[in-house]
Amino acid sequence: MTIHTTHPFAEADPDPARRLRGRLGGAVTLWTSGAGSERAGLTLTSVMVALGEPARVLGLVDPDSDLALAVEETGTAVVQLLSWPHRDLAEAFAGTAPAPGGVFAQAEFVDTAWGPRLAEAHTWAGVRLESAVGAGWSSLLTTTVEHVEVGEDADPLLHRRGRWLRPGTRD
C-alpha cells in the first residue's frame, strides 16, 4: 500500500535535458585520486571512452567536488568499473549514503601510480589529466589512458533513471 500515486518529491516541471540524461543510462564507474589523507573519489556514470593514440577517458564531475580538486592537483586518477555488489559503495562515494569512517573505509583500496584502486575492481584504468573545462554545470575532465586492466564483466553495475540495475532488467 502506498499513500502517493506519484513520486512524492517529483518536480512540477521536470527539466527535459535531465530526463534525457536519465534515460541514457550507463555503466557505473568510481573515479579516485590522491594519496593518504588527501584521497578523494566520486561515483560517475557520465563517462565516455574516446579511442585514439592515446585513448582518452572523459568524465563529467561536479566542479566543487573533492575529486575535481584532487585530480587537478595530482594530475592523475583511477577509473574503475563497479559491479552489482558495489551498490552501497557507489552510494557512499556519490554522497547519498552514510560512510562511517569515511568512504575509503567502506572497502579495501590499493595504491597505484594514479591513485587508490578498489582491490575488487576487475576492470580499471590509470589516467592522466589532459584538461578540465566547464561544461554546463559540470567540469569535463579529459584524461589520457596510461594503463588499462580488463577483467571479468560478470555482474556489472548499471544506472538508469535514478536506479541501480543489472543488465537485462527493466527499470
pLDDT of residue 9: 63
For residue 82, being part of any structural domain is answered with: yes
For residue 12, being part of any structural domain is answered with: no
For residue 133, being part of any structural domain is answered with: yes
Nearest to 83 by CA among 161, 170, 168, 159: 159
Q: Which of 23-37, 50-64, 90-104, 153-167 has the lowest mean pLDDT?
A: 153-167
Report pLDDT digits (tens) over 115-125.
999 999 999 99
Domain carrying residue 59: 26-165
Task: Please answer whether residues 124 and 152 qualify as being in contact, where contact means their C-beta atoms are separated by less than 8 angstroms.
Answer: no
Q: Which of 4-8, 106-110, 125-129, 161-165 has the lowest mean pLDDT?
A: 4-8
Total domain count, the chain: 1
For residue 11, being part of any structural domain is answered with: no
pLDDT of residue 169: 74
Gap between the Cα atoms of 36 and 116, Å rounded: 9
For residue 80, being part of any structural domain is answered with: yes
pLDDT of residue 141: 99
- Percent of the chain at pLDDT above 70? 92
SS3 147: strand
pLDDT of residue 76: 99
For residue 1, being part of any structural domain is answered with: no
**What is the domain-level CATH number for residue 67?**
2.30.110.10
Task: Please answer whether residues 166 and 25 qualify as being in contact, where contact means their C-beta atoms are separated by less than 8 angstroms.
Answer: no
State the average pLDDT over residues 98-107. Answer: 96
Q: Pairing mode, if any, of strands 56-61 and 124-135?
A: unpaired
For residue 6, being part of any structural domain is answered with: no
19's enclosing H/E stretch is helix 16-24
Please state the φ and ψ torsions of residue 90, each to the nearest 5 degrees. -60, -40
Tell which wins on pLDDT, 125 or 4. 125
For residue 10, being part of any structural domain is answered with: no
State the average pLDDT over residues 133-146. Answer: 97
